[in-house]
A = this chain, B = another copy of it.
């Protein structure tokens, strides 16, 4: 399996407090825990040529992870179209945290993907609401994060195919924090936590969910769909 971790990679270069938590970038941290004998992990970032998302690279990618925040608008539309096409063809996609506002997520969802938010060092508790789903394997009843950004409802998304996590926030809000979708042949998982000023991606349970999700969104079935003009399979009567 070939996994590509894409990161905007701006906060880490501009904010020392973020760089301290993620010295190799958020992509580096995620690539670090995903790497294994079975999984080949590469990374790509916004400021690389074609954002590191050439046709060739995407054709060799089974699962793409996406973290972006302040520079969604800098992602070129034709690259978004390219990624979109690959997802519909079957490439798995995991959209992380502020990636909810990325062009690729909005294009796949068809909605604004807007939400409420607040950065206030508050506690988040992600409750598992579908305990038999492979993405939550090894997670108990919930994940507790001592400090995270709050995302609150209403979250303007289509009804998820499967709702896996609902977050409780200390400040009084709730959020649909783990959502799966299928679009074309591609599986998509949106996972809420991961604000850049908190060490969320160093949390073993968060890592476990992301590892599970990589396995779950990866393309497994290789049936070809047929489209366009089609000859009849049965005789059609002549009508006058």
Contact = CB atoms under 8 A, between A and B. Distances in A.
A158 B174 contact: no
A185 to B, nearest CB: 4
Interface stretch (A14-22, A28-36, A53-61, A137-145): A137-145
A240 B138 CA distance: 29
Interface of A: 88, 90, 107-112, 114-118, 120-123, 125, 127-134, 136-141, 146-147, 150, 152-156, 158-159, 161-163, 166-174, 176, 181-187, 219-234, 236-239
Contacts of A186: 132
A185 B131 contact: yes
B131 A158 contact: no
B223 A171 contact: no
A181 B152 contact: no
B239 A146 contact: yes
A166 B108 CA distance: 25
